[in-house]
């Protein structure tokens, strides 16, 4: 359920994501009941609290380039998710050895504070079902990640480690 485009877009912007039990409870009481007891725990709850506390969106400060074709998820859907979650779309593939890339001093707000991932602000996303396999995942401030990593980050509302 949480991996539908509508649910992921809702989580990206911090909407309430509720279980169907809320609808049943509302019908039984013939009115609206409080949502808290029926909220989906984990990522949706963290995303909503993040929005209520006016904190940066999940992908704020991160830039994404989509490499190649995508079969598992549509590139257009991934692009919309990134935008909704506060990320920026790159039209050119970032060069890890570029002086411009390496002098960027922004940090990813939602990365673990003790992780080197908080200094990574540029991701090259590829479809893991394609024949492309990156030589190295981490190249300075540019990291390669499969598209399912991006989906996992959205559904858990956290920047997960890139394997």
CATH code of residue 15 = 3.40.50.10190
Q: What band does 3 get if pLDDT is binned at 50, 70 and 90? A: confident
Residue 111 lies in a domain: yes
CA distances (Å), 2 to each of 88, 95, 142, in order? 23, 34, 28
Q: What is the pLDDT of residue 148?
A: 92
Model confidence pLDDT, tens digit, residues 12-44: 999 999 999 999 999 999 999 999 999 999 999
Residue 58 lies in a domain: no
Q: Encoding tokens for residue 5?
A: 């485009």
Model confidence pLDDT, tens digit, residues 86-135: 999 999 988 776 655 555 666 677 887 787 777 778 899 999 888 777 77
| Residue span of the structural domain in which 141 resides | 63-155
Checking DSSP bridges between strand 63-67 and strand 88-89, what pairing results, if any? parallel
Number of domains observed in the structure of the chain: 2
If asked whether residues 74 and 146 sit together in one domain, one would say yes
If asked whether residues 67 and 94 sit together in one domain, one would say yes
| Percent of the chain whose predicted confidence (pLDDT) is above 90 | 63
How far is 109 from 102, CA to CA, in rounded Å?
18
Model confidence pLDDT, tens digit, residues 61-95: 899 999 988 988 899 999 999 999 999 999 998 87
Burial class of residue 107, CB neighbours in 10 A (0-12, 13-18, 19+): middle
Do residues 63 and 25 touch, judged by C-beta distance below 8 A?
Answer: no
Average pLDDT of the residues of the chain? 88
If asked whether residues 19 and 70 sit together in one domain, one would say no
Q: Encoding tokens for residue 16?
A: 């309430």
If asked whether residues 46 and 88 sit together in one domain, one would say no
């Amino acid at each position: 359920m949480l991996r539908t485009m509508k649910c992921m877009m809702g989580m990206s912007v911090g909407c309430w994501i509720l279980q169907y039990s809320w609808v049943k409870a509302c019908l039984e009481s013939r009115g609206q009941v409080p949502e808290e007891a029926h909220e989906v725990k984990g990522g949706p709850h963290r995303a909503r609290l993040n929005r209520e506390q006016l904190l940066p969106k999940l992908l704020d400060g991160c830039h994404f380039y989509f490499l190649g074709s995508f079969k598992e998820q549509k590139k257009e859907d991934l692009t919309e998710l990134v935008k909704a979650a506060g990320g920026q779309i790159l039209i050119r593939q970032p060069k890890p050895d570029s002086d411009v890339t390496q002098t960027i001093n922004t940090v990813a707000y939602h990365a673990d504070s003790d992780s080197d991932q908080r200094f990574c602000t540029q991701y090259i996303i590829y479809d893991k079902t394609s024949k492309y396999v990156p030589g190295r995942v981490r190249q300075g401030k540019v990291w390669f990640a499969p598209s399912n990593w991006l989906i996992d980050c959205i559904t858990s509302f956290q920047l997960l480690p890139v394997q």
